[in-house]
Amino acid sequence: MSGKILMLGNAAVARGAYEAGAAFVSSYPGTPSTEITECAADYPELYAEWAPNEKVAAETAIGASVAGARAMTCMKHVGLNVAADPVFTASYTGVNGGLALVVADDPGMHSSQNEQDSRNYARSAKLPMLEPADSAECKSFTKLAFELSERFDTPVLLRLSTRVSHSQSLVELGERESVERKAYKKDPMKYVMMPGMAKLRHLVVEKRVTDTMAYAEGADINRIEYHDKSVGIIAAGIAHAYAREALGERASYLKLGMVWPLPELLIREFAANVGELWIIEELDPFIEREVRAMGIAARGKTDFSPCGEYTSEEIRAVVLGEPAVCADPPENIPGRPPVMCAGCPHRGVFNVLSRMRLTVLGDIGCYTLGALPPLNALDTCLCMGGSVSMAHGMEKAAGRDFSKKAVAVIGDSTFLHSGITGLIDIVYNKGASTIIILDNSITGMTGHQQNPATGLTLRNEPTRKLDLEALVRAVGVDRVTVVDPFDDGATAAAIKAELDADEPSVIIARRPCALLKGVRYTGKCVITEDCRDCGACVRSGCPAISRRSGRPRIDPAQCVGCDYCRGLCKFGAIGRVE
Amino acid sequence: MSGTNIMIVGVGGQGTLLASRVVGGAAISAGFDVKVSEVHGMSQRGGAVVTYVKYSRQTVSSPIIGLGGADLVLAFEPLEALRSAAFLKPGGAVITNTRRVDPMPVVVGVAEYPEGIADKLRALGFDVAEADAAGIAAECGSQKAANIVMIGLLAARRADFSKAEWLAAVEASVPKRFLDVNIRAFEAGYAVGS
Ligand SMILES: Cc1ncc(C[n+]2csc(CCOP(=O)(O)OP(=O)(O)O)c2C)c(N)n1
């Protein structure tokens, strides 16, 4: 295995873009896709940036492609919902420089709010989609995506899934291809999508679907591997890896590297040569439906669930009837849900909201953890930006008395992603909602990415820092307050005052994430003899505070010394050791 | 199928990811095919975390391990060892840190932390070894090196790679300025495990 290195799938996608001579990457973070863009930023030859959201990222990548550069944008599955508008029409315009759209699905929802299958987008937007199974393919398929994009004049989708993105396997590194930026030529018939032009382009799109289908028939990334022919497996990506491990040479395989369009002739040939045909795919029966539409009988979602991930052990059990032997899992094992970190500034706001028993429209970020015990503070969590607009809708439907007891909470990155448009709606349509921006000076949830409000770029270069107060004032919010969420009294007072005000208000709860490098809390908090066991500190949900032998106790290994709990204790029973 | 499947489990923030990379690194230098599967994102924050390391003289296809598929569970926290029991092959091995970290349901008093976890695992037929990795790491100079103590414990019980390969993998994975304490942590874990 010499010459090969262990590489994360995401790092291998970045490497593929680098080797393909790509010049431009713009993305918005989202697990499990985030590291692609972070790794791309490590190559000085590539321009890489964080955009405020996926739509902007996709549009900038399209712009770079039209300018003639090989360009890429990366997102998680739900990010493609946000980017769908430009993507569907870029399918019509086609490209100039190669354009790779990378989308990472999350079967099993390790870190997502839904489990949608992005292959459906390939079919709807009529775009070719490749799906790698390991890091080596992540690299080679990314390179192929750029080639196909230029050859067929189309954006190309690359579909990943959590286990491909976040698994390390061996990759052999190659050289960077030197690719000149193509000249940009004005071409309104191709790039100005008004009905007159778009009607003509639609014909081009349909022809391209036929052309890419013909390509798929002969592409070596779609390959048949015959062993025992009594069982035939059609699978792509990670599902193929699971099936291959589960069944070894006891089955034959059609491994699809391209999941859209599908190679009908190849599928027919394979089906004709094997006994029982199985389609092994996580999430939707996407391939299975197409295969059945060809009039070919196949098993798949007949026996497997459309929910969650597969494993090799499950496939062996279902296809071969050989269930794994395993211990009976002991019952009543307490769960271990993720928690807000010790020192997390979000805790301050949620502790107040939980005490005030407000209706809290939540959003997506670390602060979504405020939904869990003991804070139990959130009523909703839908999509990025949804908190602000939902608060407005609820006020209009349920009335002002209702909205006097409701707030929306949204992180700094999420607010800039798509909360600002909801706020404009509130002002424009004379709402009076109270919005709390939880400004921890970073995009936390996805692992600390910079955003426009942090004043640093993806490469940590200083840039013009977006002024949140000025922004919300500019859209017409006159009541803007900034509080320190660890100042319990001030936070509670601000929320009360703004709920009572009959106009829109924004409270910015500002304190940096405790995990940021610049944040240096020192010492530890300790509970003293004066403790009356009122439980106020325990109810704040700090993971350093537990109640192992009756009375609350602070675990020095977990305490970061943020002092938040000291402010909550009415009896002054929490001291410090330096 | 003839390869080795290791599951590394713990609590987000305990350094399981780095540990899995060390095992992966050692396996590569010993010439195995390797897959290491990690989980990033949400579960990093105090939640249960699981990574898989699989290595074999043949090709490793799947990066993950299903029920009844693990040869060994390396647990950074006892409750997480118990939680992975169904993933072990019959008679599989468990190496667990004894330092317990209460999950939130236990902290807030709606669930009870199970007692006698090692015995429960033994009763299920597993080969269980325990050590206070956090304590050993503290003696070596930093409680943060508990993950490398765990690697030392593992190295002492799996003879697939030489000690030199293990040490090289540790060196390649930890920041230079913490190398000394991590080498001490590895050696201490190795001594306890042997
Ligand atoms: C459309 C979409 N894009 C990306 C994500 C992934 N994602 C979840 S939370 C989050 C950012 C949260 O950052 P912020 O709002 O600053 O809150 P924090 O986590 O720092 O508290 C991102 C990018 C998503 N869930 N949906």
**Residue A253: strand pairing partners:** A225, A233
What is the bridge-based pairing of β-strands A258-260 and A129-130?
antiparallel
Say what the pLDDT of residue A395 is: 98
Q: What is the mean pLDDT of residues A125-151?
A: 98
Tens of pLDDT, residue by residue over B1-32, are 479 999 999 999 899 999 999 999 999 999 99
CA dihedral A189, A194, A197, A203 (to 10 degrees): 130
Q: Letter for the amino acid at B59? A: T
Structure tokens at A71: 């360009």
- The answer to whether B124 contacts chain A (CB < 8 Å) is yes
CA-CA distance, A95 to A105, in Å (whole number)? 25
Q: Which residues contact A195 (CB under 8 A, 6 or more apart)?
A: none
The share of chain A scoring above pLDDT 70, in percent, equals 99
Tens of pLDDT, residue by residue over A76-99, are 999 999 999 999 999 999 999 999
Say what the pLDDT of residue A126 is: 98
Residue with tokens 């990066």: B63
Residue with tokens 């490497």: A15
Tens of pLDDT, residue by residue over A18-43, are 999 999 999 999 999 999 999 999 99
A293 backbone φψ class: left, alpha, beta (φ>0; ψ -120 to 50): alpha
Mean pLDDT (chain A) is 97
Q: What is the mean pLDDT of residues A156-166?
A: 98
**Cα A113 to ligand 1 centroid, rounded to whole Å:** 11
Structure tokens at A565: 């709990």
> Which domains, ranges and CATH numbers included, belong to chain A?
3-218 (3.40.50.970), 223-320 (3.40.50.920), 346-510 (3.40.50.970), 524-577 (3.30.70.20)
pLDDT(A1) > 50: no
What is the bridge-based pairing of β-strands B48-56 and A223-225?
unpaired
Angle, helix B163-173 to helix B16-29, in steps of 10 degrees: 130
- Kindly report the number of other CB atoms within 10 A of residue A424's CB atom: 16
Structure tokens at A162: 């959590």
Of A327, A283, A366, residue with least CA distance to A109: A283
Longest distance between any two alpha carbons in chain B, whole Å: 49
H/E run at residue A80: helix A77-93
A-facing residues of B in 54-73 (CB < 8 A) are 60-69
A414 Cβ inside 6 Å of ligand 1:
yes
- Count of domains for chain B: 1
CA-CA distance, A403 to A234, in Å (whole number)? 53
- The answer to whether A210 contacts chain B (CB < 8 Å) is no
Q: DSSP secondary structure string, A319-387?
A: HHS-PPP-PPPPS-PPP----PPTT-THHHHHHHHHHHT-EEE--SSGGGGGGSTTT---SB--STTHH
Residue A66: φ, ψ to 5°:
-60, -35
Residue A77: φ, ψ to 5°:
-55, -45
Task: Compute the count of residue pairs across chains A and B with CB atoms less than 8 Å apart.
Answer: 206
Angle, helix B146-157 to helix B133-140, in steps of 10 degrees: 110
Tens of pLDDT, residue by residue over A447-501, are 999 999 999 999 999 999 999 999 999 999 999 999 999 999 999 999 999 999 9
Angle, helix B179-193 to helix B133-140, in steps of 10 degrees: 130
**Cα A414 to ligand 1 centroid, rounded to whole Å:** 6
Contacts of B24 in chain A (CB under 8 A): 6, 168
Tens of pLDDT, residue by residue over B43-94, are 567 899 999 999 999 999 999 999 999 999 999 999 999 999 999 999 999 9
What's the ipTM? Answer: 0.95
Residue B188: φ, ψ to 5°:
-65, -45
Tens of pLDDT, residue by residue over A427-452, are 999 999 999 999 999 999 999 999 99
Tens of pLDDT, residue by residue over A364-395, are 999 999 999 999 999 999 999 999 999 999 99
Say what the pLDDT of residue A33 is: 98
E-assigned strand segments in A137-225: 156-161, 167-172, 223-225
Of A286, A15, A282, residue with least CA distance to A146: A15
Pocket test for ligand 1, best of A109, A414, A508 (most atoms within 8 A of CB): A414
pLDDT bracket for residue A231 (50, 70, 90): very high
CA distance readout (Å), A426 to A133, A188, A520, B12: 45, 38, 38, 39
The share of chain B scoring above pLDDT 90, in percent, equals 86
CA-CA distance, A255 to A110, in Å (whole number)? 26
CA distance readout (Å), B122 to A221, A360, B127, B130, B155: 47, 47, 6, 12, 21
Contact A118, A157 (CB under 8 A): yes
Q: What is the mean pLDDT of residues A278-288?
A: 98
Helices (H), chain B: 16-29, 78-83, 104-107, 117-123, 133-140, 146-157, 163-173, 179-193
The b/e string for A164-193 (b: 16+ C-beta within 10 A; e otherwise) is bbbbbbbbeeeeeeebeebeeeeeeebbeb
Q: B107 and A341: CB-CB below 8 Å?
A: no
User: Which ligand 1 atom sits closest to the C-alpha of A383?
Assistant: 26
- The answer to whether B39 contacts chain A (CB < 8 Å) is yes
CA-CA distance, A11 to A9, in Å (whole number)? 5
- The answer to whether A327 contacts chain B (CB < 8 Å) is yes
pLDDT bracket for residue B171 (50, 70, 90): very high
Structure tokens at A52: 């405020």
Least confident segment among A276-280, A479-483, B37-41: B37-41
Structure tokens at B181: 């304490």
For an interface test with B, give the residue of A336, A340, A542, A559 to mutate (most B CBs within 10 A): A336
Structure tokens at A30: 């989202």
CA distance readout (Å), A198 to A191, A405, A570: 9, 49, 68
Residue A216: φ, ψ to 5°:
-60, -35
Nearest CA to ligand 1 atom 4: A30
Q: What is the mean pLDDT of residues A305-324?
A: 96
> Where in the sequence is the domain holding B189, given as residue range(s)?
4-193
Contact A151, B83 (CB under 8 A): no
Nearest CA to ligand 1 atom 6: A30
B-facing residues of A in 525-554 (CB < 8 A) are 538-539, 541, 543, 545-548
Angle, helix A264-273 to helix A195-218, in steps of 10 degrees: 30
A508 Cβ inside 6 Å of ligand 1:
no
Q: Letter for the amino acid at A237? A: G
Q: Letter for the amino acid at B167? A: L
Contact A545, A573 (CB under 8 A): no
User: Which ligand 1 atom sits closest to the C-alpha of A112?
Assistant: 25
CA end-to-end span of chain B: 28
Q: Letter for the amino acid at A316? A: R
A341 Cβ inside 6 Å of ligand 1:
no
Of A216, A228, A296, residue with least CA distance to A255: A216
Question: Cα A294 to the chain's mean position, in Å?
Answer: 34
Residue A107: φ, ψ to 5°:
-60, 135
Residue B89 sits in a domain whose CATH number is 3.40.920.10
Reduced to 3 DSSP states, what percent helix, strand and coil does chain A have, rounded to the nearest 5? Answer: 40, 20, 45
